[in-house]
Amino acid sequence: MNNNFTGKHGPLLIAEIGGNHEGDFDYARQLVKLAIESDIDFVKFQIYTGDGLVSSVESPQRNQHFKKFELSKNQHLELADMIIEAGIGYTSSVWDIGSLNWIDNKISVYKIGSGDLTAHPILKATAEIGKPIILSTGLSTEQEVLESVDFIQSVNPLYKQPDQLALLQCTSMYPIPVSDAHLNVMGRLKELTGLTVGYSDHTEGSTALKYAVAMGADILEFHFTDSRENKEFRDHKVSLTKYEVQDLINEIKLIGQLKGKGTKRPLPIELSNEHVTSFRRAVYPSKDIEAGEVFSEENLTVLRPNHGIDARSFAEVLGKKAKKPLIKGQKLNWDDLD
């Protein structure tokens, strides 16, 4: 796979600070510092204005909520520089098309959240830029995911390539029970689209993320915080802390070692201990056999070690005659057969 969706620990790890700063720029800087120290691949924010995201007429309370969580253009740029200067990737869900003009040179991979999977103007503007896109699929049916993939690819055929467009299984609730994670969707989306797949987590803890890696996730996205204690904003409840991310990374390394390679072959540890011989069976007399006696299932068996005639040749020995007397348990060679 292209490095666009490959992380330094295997799967691409995205720490989603999102709205956990709750509009407090100093707190946002503190969260960025901790995320950098956790050794992830990308730190992610959300760029929006309340009025550019939610109708003040149809949903005035939500409009005010997002207004309180706004960060300014200069604050976003400063956070982006802080992340990039630390050697970490910066990304954002850009919920305001106009903001693409001033943030694009900071972003190497775009993230489109579940709520914008059907927002064609957002999809079109992002796809026209031509940078890799990660699309979350919460709230959607399988058909809606395929339609959005088709739309993105119609805007820019570049996104037919699995190193340019990735899909994340996601359930858009905070938190969700483990029974709502549905990690099997990743395999289904890969089968249908041939694209890179991953998992955006809204469970509590990191168990689902670990299993997602074992099931083939190439991208993991998770919310990030300094602590879940005494926090009212819902996203903190599904967030990981710095030390939990470091534990996740250690588990990912272990999972990678356990998964190993896909080619089935005897391993050096098996060969050096001669287990291919000592664990496998060969054909042996199950009783004393006289010269000229016909070999049959009544006077033959298969035993360890695999000395002489391999057990896979048992049927070939049947019906042949012994050239010489043989004792029970004696190694057989082909020249012992008439």
Q: In total, how many domains does the chain have? A: 2
Q: Are residues 152 and 280 in the same domain?
A: no
| pLDDT beyond 50 at 121 | yes
The average confidence (pLDDT) of the chain is: 96
Structural domain containing residue 216? 3-259
CA distance 311 to 281: 6
Please give the pLDDT value at position 38: 98
Closest by CA to 225, choosing from 24, 34, 12, is 34
- Specify whether 64 is located in the same domain as 125: yes
Q: What is the CATH number of the domain that holds 127?
A: 3.20.20.70
156-196 pLDDT per residue, tens: 999 999 999 999 999 999 999 999 999 999 999 999 999 99
CA distance linking residue 55 with residue 53, whole number of Å: 7
- Claim to verify: residue 64 and residue 183 sit in the same structural domain: yes
Q: If pLDDT is split at 50, 70 and 90, which confidence band does 197 have? A: very high
The per-residue pLDDT for 267 is 95
Of 84-93, 116-125, 202-211, 228-237, the poorest mean pLDDT is in: 228-237
Q: Are residues 304 and 167 in the same domain?
A: no
Bridge partner residues of 167 (DSSP): 135, 197
Query: 208, 228, 259 — which closes off a domain?
Result: 259
Contact 182, 215 (CB under 8 A): no
Is the domain of 132 the same as that of 276?
Answer: no
Statement: residue 1 has pLDDT above 50? no
In this structure, the answer to whether residues 9 and 131 fall within a common structural domain is yes
Residues 40-94: tens digit of each pLDDT: 999 999 999 999 999 999 999 999 989 999 999 999 999 999 999 999 999 999 9
Q: 255 and 207, same structural domain?
A: yes
Q: What is the pLDDT, as a whole number, of residue 279?
A: 98
> What is the C-alpha R_g of the chain?
30
Q: Tell me which of 259, 292, 316 is where a domain ends.
A: 259
- Asked whether residue 284 carries a pLDDT value surpassing 70, the answer given is yes
Give the span between the Cα atoms of 200 and 238, in whole angstroms: 11
Is there a single domain that holds both residue 292 and residue 326? Answer: yes
Per-residue DSSP letter, 119: -
- State the pLDDT at residue 19: 86
Measure the CA–CA gap between 211 and 218, rounded to whole angstroms: 12
Containing 169, the helix (H) or strand (E) segment is strand 165-169
Q: What is the mean pLDDT of residues 141-154?
A: 98
CA distance 88 to 327: 72
Instruction: Identify whether 175 is preceded by a cis peptide bond (ω within 30 of 0).
Output: yes
Give the pLDDT score at 231: 80
Same structural domain, 89 and 142: yes
Q: What is the CATH number of the domain that holds 322?
A: 3.90.1210.10
- Whether 2 shows a pLDDT value over 70: the answer reads no
254 and 118 belong to one structural domain: yes
Q: What percent of the chain has pLDDT over 90?
A: 93
pTM exceeding the 0.85 threshold for the entire prediction = yes
Last residue within a domain, chosen from 202, 236, 259 = 259
In a shared domain, residues 103 and 246: yes
The verdict on 308 and 174 lying in the same domain is no
